[in-house]
Structure 1
């Protein structure tokens, strides 16, 4: 490891982080994409932190750089910690919602460590440019991985199933219609590509006079923008076009700031003007041609891009064609009735998020608890959408998500971070302009070099800020992911590295001579580092076991599923595992009773109740766990034929109803339970009361969702 300094090691780790995070995935885990990316980020952050601390041991210095963002960052972190303390589910607030993982307190601390790790260990702008090149290279691989799926030959299916087609994906995933590659969802891929578009734009302008680089950068931007269109992500497309328009508006400042003393500024010849706007003309065609060829996926825009639209003005339209077109439109409208537009669903979810923020105004319901808390205020209108029975684990608006889960204090502190970054960008542009005005009459070489450095820095920080702005826009219509949060927290670190570059310092070589005290601290560091690595691996492998248990449980292999879940719980505590385990044990008890193994069945019932109680103790406001309890007791009733079990199930559903008053499935299930009791009740008066209660609950379910077919059928059955 000769001449291998700590800065180089940390630089390589950041490069690996940006290179591999976008396409880390595996089919062995319960969630293919985000979980594995988050685990990888935890792993790389642990390594970066280890070598950063080790560097402090070698240099005998505390190496943490101060930044203009310190106060906003720590105010935000404090708000997240307090929100976690008062959370309705602390475990979820710490580790994140199980299935998304990104966004919990642990992940936020991780990103903040990455922020300070970057600014505290980099001194050269070349290091930053190399990392940006790595990000572009990673985006190219991600694009080429996703493109075959657009043609029906998805590489992920080849990797997971050994089949070069799109058949491994469910109906919700259609890579031939909307490309998502290794990011997991089209909007996530689109957001990632939008960021890299502006990183590519920096290299495009920086190397514009170099023909070889110009061709490469032009092709990259063309490929990138075309791929954004392939995702059919409106938020990503809108963010890219909006930020590109801002860049066009800022473009004249390049000449005003850095070439105001040049004679060609007053040269208005066609040749000089063309030379100035040539880069913009190429960018225009990079954007316009893909839109013309591949369209945007927005019907209101695409109809103006079709030749048929303009031919209608030249050729007299055929009456029969008009009738056919009307019929076609009516069919499309009927189809649209069944599938609610995503923006309409988002508006309903946003309404619920606002209500949550107003109910819990200070610190919200707890970091990353939206999946459970949304049920508290879920608007009745949600039941009339095509996604009425979907679980929404995010508000599909990052800002409203913070409002709902961390309150106004959490949201304001988050916005303060964003405003601090925006203020930094604006102040640095203004500083560059003022400095140039003071020196505009100087024409010596040193000024020319200085001007070039400021031009490149201005260009870089502008492109990075626009990349950052795309995150803010796409987050408004969605939510951040692990890959996007890397850029959200590290782009401000990039700003610092551009404008606060320290002088190069002599770096100690890795594992150079250590004294006894340093050796002692090295051992002290190795112990927690080893624990972190073990904990990260245990977390990942526990989920692998959980995924196996979930698959086997759905296949009816309850015994094997229970064994895997028990192993998972030994590696990593998750009340999600306990909830799943309680339900599997209930099913296993039912199977044992069916096979006349009554003693075993009773033992399994006791164990099932134990784990259900534990999961409810850990997350008492989780309506899903109360539903699990009701399902379990229904199975216990089928085993023992003890009506007390049904009554326990009814009590669980009543609690679920308190937590989720607009869920039509709860009164519907209660109606089923009461109808069973009605059939068993021999006393006619009591039987009639039970039947009336069932009817009342069915009416309630239909009030919440008038087109609830199962409830309609049950109502007819009860009326007979």
Structure 2
């Protein structure tokens, strides 16, 4: 055995773990469509594959396979098995394997990556200094994350990307998790540290993270912080707290000053940014309704990992239409427990709860171990507290790359720490597979089928094969995202040619993403409209036009019929493609209607779909069917001004002027006074009132019999007092619109 090479491999493994611990909370790249989650997951996959390759090389050098066995093995492997089974029976296998756009975790690839990270770290880290360096790396990263979030919160010129909500972690929820973890863990490390400079530095880390928690004032952060403080009180010996009075005085003084500044009226507006936007999440009631409905239909294995977005549209409760978030399609529930129940069923919930219980038991057993804290300080206690806070985070928010990474990394580091503390303990064993039985090693000499001199190659071959497969899958996903980002940048500049080419590259690289095909279909239609707008079309233009239209139809059919037929968004895009061809292609109207009907079946409580479908019938002059659909939209969303306006237009064409007037009045009561839409509705209402049949009816009626909006609103809740944002009114007489390529990335138009 080459000891020098073996030591070098061990150093590489240690460095990789420390680097990952520092980078994951703050790593992002602006070269993909998703700056944060995708890049964090790609970093995790890359780091785990590096650890796997290094482990394989170590097997070749030592001719041994060393694995740390702990009480976490069974629940981890059971959870992985359930992930695989749930993915096999998933309603969208691609999403379950790779994750959805912007939500790359939890997925089968993501969970498998964390399992590889856990075993690669737990089985190969054998120095307390490595564990301590990893903890300090995380604390440093948490400080950087919180500092950047604070700069954005106060709208300073130093904020990045001109976005007050920008955080290195990727979202406000994840930034609060990192800050809560950083606050509690730095306190525990501070109490166990003897060097006064390091103690004060850890105090600064704790206060930096606490500052973010205070100014954001989020319930989730306070729950996590309270959990952390309880962990501090339980894990840290009283003697250590007494020896840290100076640091506690400094911390108390800072906290009291900050709280007073935030509480006093004279300084409140300086410290607290009342205009800071909040992250929008699905509430507990809505989450439970969707989860219970999914459990009813998919009780054993759920609908599949990363399929909550499909469950939400099918089971969305109608009461959510009354709020400002009615048009959002949530892809995560209130917390991860609901997500697991919905997407992985009873077996998945049982397996992951089993894992959580095993982690808690392992964390609390540290209290009864008399570890030597003379050099490492409170490393084991810090890791245990980190695990407890992380598990609680899954009850108050959903899972993402950072808290999932923290769970598996801290578990691996704690297992390694226990292994180093007491090699004779039954809690953690270091099992070594070799050709000779030495000490606690397990002999494999009985395996006569495999020649001894080749056995280490047989063991290491699957390791390298798994690493290669993981790299290829990750490269395909990541490269496609880079191409798509370049396409969207070109689209924002209205550069159709570059947009078209980059999207084609993205689809060729990763043809299994329905989002790519949807965007590609929209771009093809936009380019087709651009070509068709020319005064005189040449033969080449006509061929180009035909090719673009054919490609748009082909892409929309791929996303709806092959890749993800249960996603209503795909059917909406398909409907928009055919709608753009109405009047230019045979049967386009019927194809549009069919697509909208399928979308409505998949998203039955969405009033916008009925409004759009009603617009198609309105253009056909089938005003009765259109009015029926517009009326359904007002029933689904009683405060939907656009639906009332379109309903009034349809009734007007049906010559039902009385009810048209009532519907116009309902729309007028819902739009913002003084806005362009308000003036538009008021003008049409005045024109309607001047019609002889309406004016005569009003003159003949007594004051108590005058038409009012009550018949329409008494059962629907449309009132002037409701402060609900309204979308711009759409005129059903203007069905078609000539989009630009940039429309596909403009949220106001799509």
Smaller-chain TM-score range?
Answer: 0.7 to 0.9
CA spacing shift, 1:215–1:72, aligned 2, 3 Å: same
Aligned twin of 1:185: 171
Aligned twin of 1:437: none
> For the Cα contact (< 8 Å) 1:22–1:142, is it kept in 2?
yes
What's the TM-score, normalizing by structure 1? 0.78
> Match of 2:68, SS?
coil
Residue 704 in 1 paired to residue 636 in 2? yes
Aligned-pair distance for 1:295?
7.1
Aligned twin of 2:228: 243
Residue 587 in 1 paired to residue 526 in 2? yes
Aligned-pair distance for 1:456?
8.4
Residue 716 in 1 paired to residue 648 in 2? yes
What's the TM-score, normalizing by structure 2? 0.75
> Match of 2:545, SS?
helix
Aligned-pair distance for 1:281?
8.5
Aligned twin of 2:104: 101
CA RMSD of aligned residues (A): 3.3
Match 1:612 to one of 556, 561, 576: 556
Distance 1:525 1:220 in 2: 39
Aligned twin of 2:716: none
Residue 663 in 1 paired to residue 606 in 2? yes
**1:322-361 to 2 correspondence within 5 Å?**
345-361=283-299
Aligned-pair distance for 1:350?
3.6
Residue 82 in 1 paired to residue 85 in 2? yes
Task: List runs of 5+ in structure 1 lacking aligned partners.
Answer: 161-167, 256-274, 297-301, 310-331, 433-450, 507-514, 679-689
Distance 1:106 1:417 in 2: 18
> Match of 1:453, SS?
coil
CA spacing shift, 1:237–1:289, aligned 2, 3 Å: farther
> Match of 1:347, SS?
helix
**1:68-217 to 2 correspondence within 5 Å?**
68-153=71-156, 155=158, 157=160, 168-169=162-163, 174-175=164-165, 180-207=166-193, 209-217=194-202
Aligned twin of 1:383: 321
> For the Cα contact (< 8 Å) 1:69–1:417, is it kept in 2?
yes
Residue 622 in 1 paired to residue 607 in 2? no
Match 1:223 to one of 196, 208, 214: 208
Distance 1:34 1:344 in 2: 19
> For the Cα contact (< 8 Å) 2:183–2:207, is it kept in 1?
no
Distance 1:521 1:346 in 2: 48
Match 1:398 to one of 333, 336, 341: 336
Aligned-pair distance for 1:547?
1.7
Q: 1:359-417 CA deviation, whole Å, 9 max, x = no partner?
A: 32111111001112210100111111111111211113111011111112111211111
> Match of 2:101, SS?
coil
Task: List runs of 5+ in structure 2 lacking aligned partners.
Answer: 268-273, 424-429, 433-452, 653-750
Structure 1 range deviating more: 546-555 or 53-62 = 546-555
Distance 2:388 2:488 in 1: 39
Aligned-pair distance for 1:672?
0.4
Distance 1:52 1:605 in 2: 52
Q: 1:425-475 CA deviation, whole Å, 9 max, x = no partner?
A: 33443x43xxxxxxxxxxxxxxxxxx5617989943333232222223333
> Match of 2:66, SS?
coil
Distance 1:571 1:701 in 2: 40
Residue 569 in 1 paired to residue 512 in 2? no
Q: 1:102-145 CA deviation, whole Å, 9 max, x = no partner?
A: 21100100001000011110122222111111112222333344
Residue 599 in 1 paired to residue 599 in 2? no
CA spacing shift, 1:562–1:4, aligned 2, 3 Å: same
> Match of 1:121, SS?
coil
Distance 1:646 1:382 in 2: 31
Distance 1:615 1:703 in 2: 31
**1:3-42 to 2 correspondence within 5 Å?**
4-42=7-45
Aligned twin of 1:677: 620
CA spacing shift, 1:525–1:354, aligned 2, 3 Å: closer
CA spacing shift, 1:559–1:237, aligned 2, 3 Å: same
CA spacing shift, 1:221–1:72, aligned 2, 3 Å: same
Distance 1:416 1:342 in 2: 30
CA spacing shift, 1:613–1:699, aligned 2, 3 Å: same
CA spacing shift, 1:92–1:505, aligned 2, 3 Å: closer
Residue 469 in 1 paired to residue 434 in 2? no
Count of residues in Structure 1 that have an aligned counterpart in Structure 2:
609
Aligned twin of 1:635: 580
Aligned-pair distance for 1:210?
3.2
Distance 1:646 1:627 in 2: 14
Q: 1:137-168 CA deviation, whole Å, 9 max, x = no partner?
A: 222333344443344335463xx5xxxxxxx3
> For the Cα contact (< 8 Å) 2:524–2:549, is it kept in 1?
yes
CA spacing shift, 1:555–1:531, aligned 2, 3 Å: same
> For the Cα contact (< 8 Å) 1:57–1:518, is it kept in 2?
yes
> Match of 1:58, SS?
helix
Distance 1:62 1:249 in 2: 37
CA spacing shift, 1:292–1:88, aligned 2, 3 Å: farther
Aligned twin of 1:693: 625
Aligned-pair distance for 1:52?
0.6
Tell me which protein shows more helix as a share of its residues: 1
CA spacing shift, 1:152–1:113, aligned 2, 3 Å: same
Aligned-pair distance for 1:198?
2.7
Distance 2:462 2:89 in 1: 34
Residue 578 in 1 paired to residue 517 in 2? yes
Aligned twin of 2:372: 453
Aligned-pair distance for 1:308?
8.5
Aligned-pair distance for 1:98?
1.3
Aligned-pair distance for 1:46?
1.1
> Match of 1:424, SS?
helix
> For the Cα contact (< 8 Å) 1:194–1:467, is it kept in 2?
no
> For the Cα contact (< 8 Å) 1:664–1:705, is it kept in 2?
yes
> Match of 1:22, SS?
coil
Q: 1:184-224 CA deviation, whole Å, 9 max, x = no partner?
A: 212211101222223212321111x4322222222221222
> For the Cα contact (< 8 Å) 1:23–1:182, is it kept in 2?
yes
